[in-house]
Amino acid sequence: MARRVLSLWLSRLAVDRLARRKPALREVPLVTILGDRGRMIVVAVNAVAESAGVQPGATLADARALEPSVTPIDADFAADALALDGLADWCGRYTPWVGLDAPDGLFLDVTGCGHLFGGEAALLDDIVARLKAFGYQAKAAVADTAGAAWGMARHVRDPIVAVPPGQGRQALAGLPVEALRLPPDTAAGLRRLGMRRVGDLYGMPRAGITTRFGVIVTRMLDLALGVAPEPISPRRPVTPHVARAAFAEPISTPENLTTATLHLLDELCAGLERAGRGARRLELRFFRVDGRVERSIVGTSRPVRAAGHLARLFAGKLDRVEPGPGVEIMILSATAEPLAASQVEMPVGDAAPTLAGTHEEGELVDRLGNRFGLIRVQRLLPRESWWPENAVEAVPALSPPTSPPSTAAAIWPADRTRPLRLLARPEPIDVIAPVPDDPPLSFRWRGVAHKVVHAEGPERLEPEWWRELNELRDYYRVEDTEGQRFWVYRAGLYQPGRTARWYLHGVFP
């Protein structure tokens, strides 16, 4: 199948963006300006200002001489880029392969997409008409190469141009040399030599052109004619697993959005099953009638292709989608990883067949992860260390242990009683205790006094020699009159005449 590239040119992007926010600006001669060495230079003009003779590149003083009522607004290139980025998102309704052609254009790889819209001419007409309804003046052209489409969009009067496959060379021949995306100085130099049209370059010796102008002319000519490849870099990763739904009438109710999401998930999961893969990250895009694109993204802790589980993950996010005047297209895409078929156990008696191994833990992690972030859903695994702060490590909830099962750190030690809640940092406490090494009789923690009625210990822990800590600890398990149980320790050996330092390190359930 021949490659087909669509070039979209938004010639008045800056002024159209301003007029969308304030429609009254469409009726006045509007220009955007930029300061340059003490002068104000016109960057963009609307149709009213252009009809008065104002052109980009003129000074604001010259513009006012031509049209005294001109309305200047400071150019905002960041806002223009953001608007172009939003339009690129919207163009995802036509193809997932959308690239930026800054500052005022887009490239769309529409190979194999034309028939979905009634042909390429109908696709071009649809995209230009919709942009016009949004308030953007646009021209579009489709050809075999990005270079040819770019030249046709910018140097042919018609707002839409569809170059038949294989006809790019003939279509470019009559266009000015500027259609090759050449620097202005280079194009001016070619004109001085009598080469005003692209076709004038076809029969010229390449060596002579390269000697005078460098490789830029022949390079851009080869790109436009398809002699050299010109890939289009998509703004977002293009995934092979996509499900799409277009509606005859826009939908906006939560029920309709939920039903459409379930339909897309069923379709996507069926495709994933055929491919032997499972989704890890899913993005659901809602293309609104007014041109805005809403997004809902979920992630999974492991490859998944269970539509019901994925629907529950999306359920908590659909209420944040703003359908506005209505959603006309929904597209669900997923990045996937290999997922083998699950083993099914043979039923015993009247029991129903079940999967070998349960997925409840994974589904719980996914639900929590999409609410708080998968990186925040963790579990604690034992680590080979006697020092309490280093005896555990936090890992992703479903990751396997980092140590081999044969090591001592593979299981929780059963010969040492440890509190369920270990404080992030041991907290100092005021203790009344006999010396030299008896347990506390009472202590005060966070302003609350606790009288000890039962104590066990001490358990002496020596510091790890390779760490900076060099002071041993004597730990005690104590219980107060309220039945609360704590894990406290005395730091260092008893020294006559020096007050012992006590800390609370954990709380038992």
CATH T-level assignment (fold) for domain 168-225: DNA polymerase; domain 1 (1.10.150)
Cα separation of 264 and 270, whole Å? 10
Q: Which CATH number fits domain 5-162: 3.40.1170.60, 3.40.228.10, 1.10.357.10, 3.40.50.300?
A: 3.40.1170.60
Largest CA distance in the chain: 106
Give the pLDDT score at 385.
79
CA dihedral 394, 397, 398, 403 (to 10 degrees): 10
Task: Provide the residue ranges of all domains of the chain, joining segments of one domain with +.
Answer: 5-162, 168-225, 241-338, 379-410, 421-508
Phi, psi of 238 (to 5 degrees): -95, 115
Give the pLDDT score at 291.
92
Residues 6 or more apart in contact with residue 409 via CB below 8 angstroms = 381, 382, 383, 384, 401, 403
Record the tokens describing residue 74, joined without a space: 């400071």
Give the pLDDT score at 408.
42
Give the pLDDT score at 412.
63
Q: Read off the pLDDT of each residue in 232-242 and give the average, rounded to a whole number.
A: 86
Cα separation of 261 and 103, whole Å? 35
By CB atoms closer than 10 A (0-12, 13-18, 19+), residue 180 is buried
Q: Are 278 and 272 in contact (CB under 8 A)?
A: yes
* Of 152, 135, 175, 151, nearest in space to 13 by CA: 135
pLDDT above 90 (res 365) = no
- Block residue for tokens 């790019």: 168
Give the pLDDT score at 362.
74
- Residues in a beta bridge with 474: 460, 490
CATH architecture of residue range(s) 241-338: 2-Layer Sandwich (3.30)
Give the pLDDT score at 407.
43
Cα separation of 85 and 311, whole Å? 29
Average pLDDT, the chain: 89
- Residues 281-299: tens digit of each pLDDT: 999 999 999 999 999 999 8
State the pLDDT confidence band at 473, using cuts at 50, 70 and 90: very high
By CB atoms closer than 10 A (0-12, 13-18, 19+), residue 479 is middle
